[in-house]
Amino acid sequence: MTPEQFAQVIGHTRATVPPTFVIGPVLEAVEELVRGDDLGLDYDRIVHRAQRIHHLRPCTDRVEVRARTLDVRSFRGNVIGRFSVELHDDAGVVCSALTTLVQGGAPAAPGKATEAVPLGRVFVDQDLVTRYADASGDHNPIHLDPAAARAAGFPGVIAHGMLTAGLALSLVPRDLTWFEAVFTQPVVVGSGVHLDVGARAGRDAVEIVVACDGVAVAHVRTDLSPAALTEWNGSTP
């Protein structure tokens, strides 16, 4: 059975894409804005600080992308840019995204990963980062070239923020309509690193915590009910 045939069986007219897959066209549109306008941001030296994606309906592979710059400001030695992106199909907006990029200055304080229901452990190495760059279209040299990463102030090549978030969300046994990721520390790849993924209940949603050597590197809020944690009962799905 082809993806198109399966989609029709479950009620869709065309094959739909996973919730995180839209980051490809989202970041492509944001990159075009950054490189095309004088915003004070150097796309080859920025890092992904936060990403929100909200699906109104299942997203297919045929969409129109509309992006705009919300604001660019300086804060504590950083230049921070926020960008709004909408994906439209024939019926209107199917997905909206808010992208935050940061250049310069120190990263956000990471803090230590707090107690969480363990979901599992994932491994990230340069091969995976390179394959993600090809799949997403995000070939920022800080993810691929050690010299470029060091020139941007990192000790080595770093993993894409959305690669980290996507690996974490792949361990969640539920379909998602929205998620919001905040990347507090870069994941320096080197010869490869293990990331521990856990979940904890927030006020109105489940938060996925990604940690490296006991330090939180990403927090991902989702539309999962905190009650879902009781189903996992501390075991890996």
Are 64 and 91 in a shared domain? yes
pLDDT tens-digit map of 51-89: 999 988 877 667 899 999 999 998 888 899 999 999 998
Are 48 and 116 in a shared domain? no
Are 89 and 130 in a shared domain? no
pLDDT of residue 237: 41
Alpha-carbon distance values, 148 to 13, 90, 124, 137 (Å): 44, 41, 19, 18
Are 144 and 190 in a shared domain? yes
Q: How far separated are the first and last CA of the chain, in Å rounded?
A: 27
**What are the tokens at 174?**
């539920």
pLDDT of residue 236: 43
Q: Which domain holds residue 24?
A: 1-105
Are 78 and 117 in a shared domain? no
210 pLDDT above the threshold of 90:
yes
Lowest mean pLDDT among 73-77, 103-107, 189-193: 103-107
Are 97 and 83 in a shared domain? yes
Of the candidates 186, 185, 175, the one whose C-alpha atom is nearest the C-alpha of residue 222 is 175
95 pLDDT above the threshold of 60:
yes
pLDDT of residue 43: 85
Are 71 and 86 in a shared domain? yes
Domain boundary among 76, 105, 134: 105
Domain boundary among 105, 128, 157: 105
CA angle 177, 180, 184 (to 5 degrees): 155
Secondary element (H or E) of residue 75 = strand 64-75
Are 99 and 112 in a shared domain? no
pLDDT of residue 170: 87
pLDDT of residue 113: 59
pLDDT tens-digit map of 111-168: 665 667 888 999 999 999 999 999 888 899 999 999 999 988 889 999 999 999 999 9
Domain boundary among 105, 137, 164: 105
Supply the DSSP symbol for 78.
E
User: Strands 46-55, 178-183: parallel, antiparallel or unpaired by DSSP?
Assistant: antiparallel
Are 100 and 155 in a shared domain? no
pLDDT tens-digit map of 216-227: 999 999 887 776
pLDDT tens-digit map of 26-46: 999 999 999 987 888 888 888
Q: What global pTM score does this model have? A: 0.81
pLDDT of residue 180: 93
Are 30 and 141 in a shared domain? no
16 pLDDT above the threshold of 90:
no
How far apart are alpha carbons 127 and 86 in whole angstroms? 31
Burial category of 26 from C-beta neighbours within 10 Å (exposed 0-12, middle 13-18, buried 19 and up): buried
Alpha-carbon distance values, 168 to 42, 83, 162, 179, 188 (Å): 28, 24, 10, 12, 17
Structural domains in the chain (count):
2
Are 211 and 175 in a shared domain? yes
Are 61 and 10 in a shared domain? yes
For the domain that residue 78 is a member of, what is the CATH number?
A: 3.10.129.10
